[in-house]
Structure 1
């Protein structure tokens, strides 16, 4: 009922050997901790990425590398705060955070350098100026209408 045709296979085991020996592991390393799964990670000031595991262990997972360009104006914006190198930007100079590469600050939100209260005051002033100008134009329009009707 379908399927593959029957096959005959002959095995020649004449050149094989077998050795008997005790199971003897060469190295056993036990740190006393159970296996754990990754719960989260943190990034240190030097760029080291530390993973926190469910067995209360912390392991280094890698390091953040920073790049410096000769002409940052030549970088190409890719969107979502991602930039890529171009011929105009030059080749990236890679290094660890700190020193001439700049600092890395983890768990921080960059604050805006805009004086929010000052900008709101300026917005209110601009809106009142707009309203005053609109009323002036409306008054001029009424004067013109009166003159045309005379």
Structure 2
């Protein structure tokens, strides 16, 4: 019975983590470019009483083994990089990626991060930056006398300067992709950093070589489905309850055993 107590406890711990993941997804249902997470579970150690194929008491081969599992654990919490819904904003510096790719961002310490959140702003020097002030890479500076900003599907950034009738190209937005985006490390602020499991980052122009194209005046919303997360929450809650019920039942059986003494 003691084994059942500990086994059920591992199930409750796993479902606690599952609920934490679901709560984080729901908390970011309105975060632009947010990618939901999914908890993956696996069984843990087995206590082997008898091995299949071993000799039985009468000299015959044992057809099956006797193994008792010792519970479950969280094997991984994986980011799911499906595309979120697009929302039209009309803001010149809101950019959505239609397809594969990430915007490249330069952090304050000089390191490189990546994001799908295209809610860009303009800082005091005219640079295109994130909501936290981190500049887009390669750096693009909008002149002070620019009256209109146009961002093409293939990344070309053009401005209409005061007193001029023809636009001037001031830079090109590039995208980066990875062979295994699920291996990216989340650092908050809708930013990801490279890890050894992501593969070598590949940079290219939007709309070319498999990269997604850009849509100015749109934002990619979160890919969290409230209905799906609510169903997962109910399933996780029931799994937690049944594991707690197993602990209660094992405790009652131990009590019965004690009463026999």
**TM-score using structure 1 length:** 0.46
Query: Which fold has the larger relative contact order, with Cα–Cα distance below 8 Å and residues 6 or more apart in sequence?
Result: 2
Structure with greater proportional strand content: 2
